[in-house]
Amino acid sequence: GAGVSQSPSNKVTEKGKDVELRCDPISGHTALYWYRQSLGQGLEFLIYFQGNSAPDKSGLPSDRFSAERTGGSVSTLTIQRTQQEDSAVYLCASSLWDVEAFFGQGTRLTVV
Amino acid sequence: GENVEQHPSTLSVQEGDSAVIKCTYSDSASNYFPWYKQELGKRPQLIIDIRSNVGEKKDQRIAVTLNKTAKHFSLHITETQPEDSAVYFCASRREDSSYKLIFGSGTRLLVRP
């Protein structure tokens, strides 16, 4: 596709359930980032993938959060046993080595 | 770890006035500094960026300045217009083995007509 695509665009889940959020980066982009944005807040770094290197997981808030990137392309962010404080917009971005990072439209997660 | 501080958190200016947003970064190895604009309900989009070998860059009404010694960089918007109202994020990134992009906390700019 022409841009970064995220799915679903909206997700409502019950507290305690697991959720998977998907990101399709721009073809050929080696870097992929996940950020969390709570209402009216900034862009909280979660995890970063760069090529075949080990991901930088330093931003993941707890061991309930994990992410994979298969074949250097599609990425899935998984949140286990969701809590109400996990409610936020989850943004994915991709870039080549040293140029602009492009964002997807985000997944709005609501935990009820 | 890496950190980017951004000020002010909110900024209100009269249409036609200038707006300045400032950021400070902690990682001295950072050498790429983009600025993103996020309109309400939309994704962040790049508006201007600067690399460490340049001290200033302009694009029409927008300019960014960089002081590597002080680890400061700033966004300047001149002749502000109501459509400039948005949240602005600064960021920094190393360009060696780690290209992690770290963002500031954002500045909500309101341009009053």
pLDDT at A5 over 80: yes
Residue B68's CB is within 10 A of a number of other CB atoms, namely 15
pLDDT at A1 over 70: no
d(CA A55, CA A21): 17
Give the pLDDT of residue B21. 98
Whether B46 and A56 lie within 8 Å, measured CB to CB:
no
Q: Order of strands across the sheet with A5-7? A: A5-7, A19-24, A75-79, A65-69
Handedness of CA A109, A57, A52, A50 (dihedral sign): positive
- Residues from chain B that touch A36, judged by Cβ atoms under 8 A, are none
d(CA A42, CA B58): 25
Locate the chain A residue with the closest alpha carbon to B91.
A43
Pick out chain B residues at pLDDT < 50: none
Task: Note the pLDDT tens digit of each residue in A6-49.
Answer: 999 999 999 999 999 999 999 999 999 999 999 888 999 999 99
Q: Are strands B10-14 and B107-112 parallel, antiparallel or unpaired?
A: parallel
Locate the chain B residue with the closest alpha carbon to A97.
B99
pLDDT at A80 over 60: yes
Whether A35 and B103 lie within 8 Å, measured CB to CB:
yes
Q: How many Å lie between the alpha carbon of A82 and the closest alpha carbon of chain B?
A: 24
Q: What is the mean pLDDT of chain A?
A: 93
